[in-house]
Structure 1
Amino acid sequence: MTRDAAVRAMRDRLLRESFPRVQMFILVTLTGLAGFAASAAMLMGGIETMALRYLLAMGVAYLVFLALLWIWLHSSASDYLDVAPTDVGRAPNGAGELPAVLRDDFAGHGGSFDGGGASANVEFDAGSGAVETIVDKPLEAIGHADEGAIPLAVVLLALGVLLSSLFVVWTAPILFAEILVDALLAAGLYRRLRGLERQHWMVAAVKRTVVPFVLTTVLVAGAGWGMQAWAPEARSIGDVLGR
């Protein structure tokens, strides 16, 4: 059996016996709340630059996400110690007890991670009136365009964060399966099998989640920069929408 086969078997078992996507939805929700709380705390602490604050908040959120994965692994690993007994044998210390290696890791030694929407008043059936409206009142037309563009930017920002979150939730079965297999490998449960490389569970966790988190961070920080460039006095999305 290869590592990929072990991961697929674990994924299938997770889907049969639990609700990995629901569990990941809870983790992602807690992660978002942590990021929001971090941003609010930094604003109270005097960091008023939205792009910087959002960047730092996303970093905090990612660390919280990894911590939540560690908690999930700590609370779930003992349920899967009898993984594929016909293929890999029973857990050395019994299905209900964590192996010493895994217990030590969970005790604290292995968890260190440490122009859209323009609304200018243009009458297309008024002949030259449309041209006169733009020529005579250019600033007013641009102002209306900006008023429509900022809410649209906020909607696109929310949509981007939502899609990134949905990706992580949808791929939760394979992510949970990988980190479980890696943790069990580290505990020696697959020692009789050949060709199974060992790696820390966090390697798989980062590989599976770093791209959506980076893309979301770029989107959030870029939106913060753009909104504050449009409204320099604004310190939050609420300030921008309240203009």
Structure 2
Amino acid sequence: MPTSRPMSRAFAVRTMRARLLRDSFPRVQMFILVSLTGAVGFAASAAMLLAGIETMALRYALAMGAAYLAFLALLWVWLHTSASDYLDVFPVDGSDGPACGPGAARDDFTGGGGSFDGGGASANVDFGTEGEVGASIVEKPLAAIGHAEEGAIPLAVILLALGLLSSSLFVVWTAPVLFAEILVDAFLAAGLYRRLRHLDRRHWMVAAVRRTAVPFVLTTLLVAGAGWGMQAAVPEARSIGGVVAGR
């Protein structure tokens, strides 16, 4: 009886991804997981504030860590509740499996930046007394510094929102590949399919961390930096609400 050709891991992931896109809504499912992750992070930050952790940068970093652990736990729940739906993607008896569906398209992420342009103003100076000239020299830089601090607050809030949104969109958009990889790795670890048994087995969490750790780390640095900046501008603030109210 002829034996079928072994399947590569890349081919297995593409096949699983095509099945996920055809029979389910992986990005919608990931959106739900990401939303729950955000709720956990928000709740963790609020709980730490009640516990007395008032430094926003530290609290936001710890909240992101708690959110990431919750995200991995949610992936575990998704895997154990959904894996049985895809047991027929690869043949158990070693016969040829279904042809691979549409190839995985390369996900291109392009980002654009904005420019922050400033302009100066010129004015005629009416020479007066030495006191008036000295007051004018001192007041203008102080006013400029005050405006800069006021402008830093909304900028920090915008950066915080953009960081959370960008990382969430990235994880949601790449969900088909992430789900496909953790399913294939779970099947490999279980040794369910002959055509996959020649591949190296690894825990499904390896793929999950490899695809999501960088966005979470970058977002953590961004939100912690934004928290530090906001609290530096409004030292008495302990939350974003306090920063806005203290402007």
Range into which the TM-score falls when normalised by the shorter chain = 0.7 to 0.9
Identity of aligned residues (%): 75
Report the equivalent of 1:84: 90
Whichever of the two has the greater Rg, that structure is: 2
Partner of 2:162: 159
Task: Provide the aligned length of Structure 1 versus Structure 2.
Answer: 214
Partner of residue 30 from structure 1, selected from 11, 33, 36 = 36
Unaligned runs of 5+ in 1: 91-115
Distance in 2 (CA, whole Å) between partners of 1:11 and 1:152 is 39
Structure 2: distance between partners of 1:190 and 1:128: 84
Task: Provide, for residues 90-132 of structure 1, a one-character-per-residue CA deviation record: whole Å limited to 9, x for no partner.
Answer: 9xxxxxxxxxxxxxxxxxxxxxxxxx6989xx7x464459xx9
1:56 aligns with 2:66: no
Does the 8 Å contact 2:91/2:193 carry over to 1?
A: no
Q: Which of 7, 17, 23 lines up with 2:13 in the alignment?
A: 7
Q: Which runs of 5+ in 2 are unaligned?
A: 1-6, 97-115, 127-134
SS of equivalent to 2:194: coil
8 Å contact from structure 1 (residues 2, 194) kept in 2:
no
Whether the 8 Å CA contact 2:178–2:211 is kept in 1: the answer is yes
TM-score, L = length of structure 2: 0.79
What is the alpha-carbon distance in structure 2 between the residues aligned to residue 133 and residue 204 of structure 1? 62
Change (3 A) 1:189 1:128: farther
Match of 1:224 in 2: 227
Looking at structure 2, the residues matched to 185 and 141 of structure 1 have their Cα atoms a distance apart, in angstroms, of 62
Q: Give the TM-score, by structure 1 length.
A: 0.80
Decide which of 188, 194, 217 is 1:185's aligned counterpart. 188
- Work out which structure has the larger RCO, using CA pairs closer than 8 Å and 6 or more positions apart in sequence: 2
Q: Say if 1:71 and 1:127 are closer, same or farther in 2 by CA, change over 3 A.
A: same
Partner of 2:214: 211
Which of 177, 185, 201 is equivalent to 1:198? Answer: 201
The amino acid across from 1:70 in the alignment is W
| Partner deviation per Cα, 1:52-78 (whole Å, 9 max, x = no partner) | 111111110001000100111111001
Q: List aligned pairs for 1:136-147, cutoff 5 A.
A: 136-147=139-150
Shift of 1:136: 3.7
Secondary structure of 2:238's counterpart equals coil
